[in-house]
Amino acid sequence: MTWRMGRIHALLAMALLLWLAACAPGTAAPAPLHSPTPIVVPASTRSAADALSRIHNASPKDIPLFASITFTSDTTYDQAIAILRGHVYPWTCDEPRSDEPPPLAVLQANFAKWHGLLMSYPVWDELVRIASSPQVVSVDGTSLYPCP
């Protein structure tokens, strides 16, 4: 009986990996909102299991309201925006003091300092696609904190 259960689990795990591989991202992302020229993001060479290992505090059944995406230090702001397909939450804390997002220069400076961006209301497939990018170090489910 245990041998059969182990075999069933192995088959289910293999089916999940094949399904995730079939959902791999395309080779190009749309042009970022703030860039005058389109940026092509290469297709991921990471495996589905490797991408899943970069996702923390989130699962298909427990999707966070916000995700914090950490990029490699050589990733530019425009590349990061392209990877997120422009789906960026511009503030770094809750209750923004203004309805207007910070100026582009402020967003770029913050990115250069922290190499991270926030996104709101992600879906699981989107988190897996983002985690598959070679420029992404981690994808973390997070919550926002009140602004100082």
pLDDT tens track for 39-85: 444 444 457 789 999 999 999 999 999 999 999 999 999 999 999 99
Nearest C-alpha neighbor of 108 from the set 29, 30, 33: 33
pLDDT digits (tens, 9 = 90+) for 79-138: 999 999 999 999 888 777 788 888 999 999 999 999 999 999 999 999 999 999 999 999
CA-CA distances (angstroms) from residue 23 to 6, 33, 104, 112?
26, 25, 33, 31
Q: What is the pTM of this model?
A: 0.66
pLDDT at 49: 83
Q: Is residue 20 over pLDDT 80?
A: no
